[in-house]
């Protein structure tokens, strides 16, 4: 096993700290420049949803499942409200199929994983909707 020397590790740590300090200094300098001095627009996105984390091509599978559901049940049927236990049962069936080695749903030809994501989305939607109702009624959930 090849262990890193203490000196090399300390040098690497110093370099990391130095680069982080440099970034902080750049950010401070940018925020304190006049508009004319700035190289680009300032954006304060810290703490906001980072949609760049989403892998959009994967979501195409979800959209195909939703389009199948639209033909079968009507557009945005899940927004009419589902029994959350039924939604979890459907999710579990798709996960169980995947565990048994079946990757594609026989009815739709789409990935069971995409059906699972759809069920998770339905569950989250209805959870949010139910919690909004509780807040409107003055109930804490």
User: What is the pLDDT, as a whole number, of residue 45?
Assistant: 86
The percent of residues above 90 in pLDDT, for the chain, comes to: 57
CB 62 within 8 A of CB 94: no
Comparing 13 with 125, the larger pLDDT belongs to 125
CB count, 10 Å around CB of 125? Answer: 16
Residues 14, 76, single domain; the answer is no
Q: Is the pLDDT of residue 1 over 50?
A: no
Q: Is the pLDDT of residue 140 over 60?
A: no
User: What is the pLDDT, as a whole number, of residue 15?
Assistant: 72
Closest among 56, 57, 83, 72 to 119, alpha carbons compared: 83
User: What is the pLDDT, as a whole number, of residue 20?
Assistant: 63
Q: Is 48 contained in some domain? A: no
Residues 69, 35, single domain; the answer is no
Residue 82 to residue 84: CA distance in whole angstroms: 6
Range of the domain at 116: 57-136
Comparing 20 with 53, the larger pLDDT belongs to 53
Residue 61 to residue 41: CA distance in whole angstroms: 36
């Amino acid at each position: 096993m090849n262990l890193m020397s203490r000196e090399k590790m300390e040098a690497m740590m110093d370099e990391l700290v130095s680069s982080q300090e440099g970034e902080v200094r750049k950010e401070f300098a940018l925020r304190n420049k006049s508009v004319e001095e700035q190289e680009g627009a300032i954006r304060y996105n810290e703490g906001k949803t980072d949609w760049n984390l989403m892998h959009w091509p994967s979501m195409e599978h979800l959209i195909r499942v939703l389009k199948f559901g639209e033909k079968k049940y009507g557009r945005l049927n899940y927004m009419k409200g589902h029994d959350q236990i039924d939604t979890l049962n459907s999710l579990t069936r798709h996960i169980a199929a995947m565990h048994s080695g079946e990757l594609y749903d026989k009815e739709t030809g789409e990935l069971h994983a995409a059906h699972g994501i759809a069920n998770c989305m339905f569950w989250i939607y209805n959870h949010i909707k139910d919690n909004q109702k509780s807040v409107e009624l003055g109930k804490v959930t």
